[in-house]
Amino acid sequence: MEVFTRWRTWETARSDIAASGAHIDLDGLAPAVAAAERWHGDQRRPTGAPYVEHLLEALEVLVRGAEVTTPAVLSAAVLHDVVEDTPATLADVEAEFGPEVTELVDWVTKPPTAGAGRQAKRAGKAAYLRRLRDAPREAILVKLADRVSNVQTLDRMPPDFQRRYYAETITYIVPLAEHEPWFRTWYASWSAHFAHLQ
């Protein structure tokens, strides 16, 4: 199972992309990375890693793994959590990046559940994940890359979380990968690697 954790900084990502010869508009992507860094600030992931590392992992998955070059998809990948996890709004995203990127970010943003109980939060998340079946292909690519970043090191999470997240990924995310050959293969390898969590 390939793991995507090489791009911890934009400088590394930019250098790798330039060296690869991939047809990616780095100057067009840089403002999205800068905005994500600005909006997320010094936020950290549950693992303690700077939040931006997760966003760059999702980008790395799309570029190095799935060989995606579509500018809107790559920008949305690094912005995919700004509405969910920062004070930024969809209007803020649209003002800087236009309607196409904003639509993709909107598709992958979980609705707010502040103040809801555990059952309501779980039901809301399940509804959000089911709704992704109707998302455009570009939004699905962003979500697939986001989840690769989240599950590639699942063994670093608490055991009860591992089992729950594995089941959720198998139920809702793996079916989204069915029509994307690279992601289908990656998730098959991942599910076999973590099969003990079934």
Length of the chain: 198
100 annotated active-site: no
85 is known as an active-site residue: yes
Q: Which residue of the set 2, 84, 155, 178 is catalytic? A: 84
Active-site option among 85, 92, 94, 106 = 85
In angstroms, the CA 80 to CA 76 distance is 5
The set of catalytic residues is 84-85
